[in-house]
Structure 1
Amino acid sequence: MLWTFLALLLGGILKGATGAGAPIIAVPVMAILVNVPFAIAILSVPNLVSNLWQGWQHRADHLDLRFTVKFALAGAFGAALGTYMLANLPDEALLVGVAISVFAYIAFRLARPHWVLPFAAAQRLALPVGTVAGMLQGAAGVSAPVSITFLNALRTDRSAFVATISAFFAAMAVVQIPLLTLYGFLTWERFLWSCVAIVPLAAGMPIGAALARRISKEIFDKVILALLALVALRLLSDAVL
């Protein structure tokens, strides 16, 4: 649990610095320590609480409310499908899925750092992209390769990005929590640990915000990507060996 809390602290630092992305660190690390279903279950309550809090803080900053609602509802639907996959796929497949998701995120960030998506196109893509991202979140606990990349490509300001991504993650968490309970992943014991896990995640967020003010975004991004690459390699080795 100590290593799990450290993973959540790191996830909180990333979320505080960028406004999103706690699962991209916390889920792979916890998946190495225990397994993917455990990681998703433990992160479920912190995901809901932190994103409701951030979403409320930025409630007046939505890029377009209809776009946000469409994207969030698609994510919730995808999360339901992904949770069904979580319940029916073997652990090795889930580990590989998380690793591939992380590598896809790294590859896109390196290959297309300045890609811009017109908002008109994003409105048309909100439903399919939101659904795919939700499926990744439900099955692997990591939607960033799709969700964060998609919203980053709009080149909105930070407040609009945080408002939209918070609504998206909160909607998925609302669907995930009862389904994780139904499938037996979120037991009473894990629910209590998940509530406790809010503490390290919340503790990391102001640290991340402070680091973002002192370290250039480029350096911070490179450190995070290097860390993610190491974690993804470890996930693949655990799945194969």
Structure 2
Amino acid sequence: MVESLVVAMIAFALGGVLKGAIGAGTPVVVIPLLSIYFGVPYAVSVFVLPALLSNIWQVWQYRAALPERGFLIQLAVGAGIGALIGSVLLANLPSDILSITVGLLALVYIGFRLAKPDWGLDFAVARRIVLPVGVLAGILQGSAGISAPVSMTFLHALRLERRQFIAIISVLFSAMAIVQLPTLFSLGVLDGQRFLISIAACVPLFLGMPVGGWLVRYVPPQLFDRLIMVLLFVIAAGLIYKAL
């Protein structure tokens, strides 16, 4: 219990710094790091409550930057459906497969960011594909805890202003977490001990967010982004190596 708590606190503090700096990316750090020590089901279940609370807070904080309602509703509904499917997969797939999936998703995300840094997407096209994108992001988040290869890539490609990006991605993660929380309880993946750790993890996450907001004013965003990707690569490689 003590070891679980310490590792979770460190992971969520780092995730909070990242979220405070760029408005997203917490699961990209937290899920692989916790998965190395305790497995993907533990990581995903402990992450749900902090994700829900922090993203609801950011939705409220950036509510003035939210775009048209139709786009948001489709994104949220798709994400919720996908999160339900993904949670069922999480409860039934072997842990090694889940660990490899998390590691590979992280590497795919890094590879795409490096290969296509300037990739863009027209908003008219985004409106037509937003529902299936939400479903796919939800499945990845529910089953492996990382939807960044779909969710962050999709939203980054829209070339959104920072406040609007944070508002939209917070709606996405809130919708997924709202579905995940009761579903993981009902499936037995989230138990009493994990829920207590999840509650405690909210503290370092919320403490880390203003630190990230402060750091981003002094560290060039490109450098901060590259440092995070290096860290993610090391974690993802370790996760895959352990599973194999």
- Which secondary structure state, in structure 1, belongs to the residue aligned with residue 48 of structure 2? helix
One-letter identity of the residue aligned with 2:101: G
For 2:235 and 2:218, locate their aligned partners in 1 and report how far apart those are by CA, in whole Å: 25
> Alpha carbon RMSD of aligned pairs, Å?
0.7
Distance in 2 between the 1:15 and 1:238 partners?
A: 27
Structure 1 residue identity aligned to 2:187: Y
Specify which of 65, 84, 88 is matched with residue 88 of structure 2: 84
- Give the match for residue 59 of structure 2: 55
* TM-score normalized by the length of structure 2: 0.97
Pick aligned residue for 1:35 from 29, 36, 39:
39
Query: 1:149 is matched with which residue?
Result: 153
Report what 1:17 is aligned to: 21
Q: Which residue identity does 1:102 align to in structure 2?
A: A
Is residue 133 from structure 1 mapped to residue 137 from structure 2 by the alignment?
A: yes
User: CA shift at 1:192, angstroms?
Assistant: 1.5
Deviation at 1:220, TM superposition (A): 0.5
Q: List aligned pairs for 1:77-226, cutoff 5 A.
A: 77-226=81-230
Give the secondary-structure state (helix, strand or coil) at the position aligned to 2:81. helix
* Identical-residue share of aligned pairs (%): 46
Partner Cα distance (2:240, 2:193) in 1: 29
CA displacement, residues 145-194 of structure 1 (integer Å, 9 cap, x when unaligned): 10011001000101111111111100100000001001111112211111
**Pair 1:44 & 2:86 matched:** no
Give the gaps of 5 or more residues in structure 1.
none
Q: Secondary structure at the match of 2:65?
A: coil
SS in 2 for 1:214: coil
TM-score (norm. length: structure 1): 0.98
Paired residues in the alignment total 240
The one-letter code sitting in structure 2 at the alignment partner of 1:150 is F
- Unaligned stretches of 5+ residues in structure 2: none
What is the letter of the counterpart of residue 87 of structure 1? A
- Mapped to 1, the partners of 2:147 and 2:162 lie a distance apart of 19
Displacement, 1:131? 0.6
List 4+ stretches of structure 1 deviating above 4 A.
Answer: none
Amino acid aligned to 1:218: Q
